[in-house]
């Protein structure tokens, strides 16, 4: 049997200004994505959280 992982509804993309360091992560809930966003912004990253699958809203 093939197991299919659930789609991540929210995508997080973070960049550290002045470098070419990027992070891309996926989350099932907006709460988890915003928690991670806050932590990354505190560490100096510029962060964007978007809806990965518009039909999932």
Q: Which whole number is the average pLDDT over 21-49? A: 94
Residue 4's pLDDT is what?
A: 67
Residue 48's pLDDT is what?
A: 95
Higher-confidence position of 3 and 34: 34
Residue 20's pLDDT is what?
A: 87
Residue 35's pLDDT is what?
A: 97
Q: Which residues make Cβ contacts (< 8 Å) with residue 44, sequence separation at least 6? A: 16, 17
Residue 52's pLDDT is what?
A: 80
Residue 56's pLDDT is what?
A: 53
Domain regions of the chain by residue span: 10-56
Q: Which of 3, 15, 6 is nearest to 45 (CA)?
A: 15
Q: Enter the DSSP assignment of 46.
A: E
Q: Which whole number is the average pLDDT over 23-42? A: 95
């Amino acid at each position: 049997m093939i197991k299919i992982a659930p789609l991540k509804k929210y995508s997080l993309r973070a960049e550290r200004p002045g470098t070419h360091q990027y992070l891309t992560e996926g989350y099932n809930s907006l709460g988890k994505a915003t928690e991670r966003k806050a932590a990354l912004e505190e560490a100096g990253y510029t962060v964007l959280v978007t809806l990965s699958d518009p039909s999932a809203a």
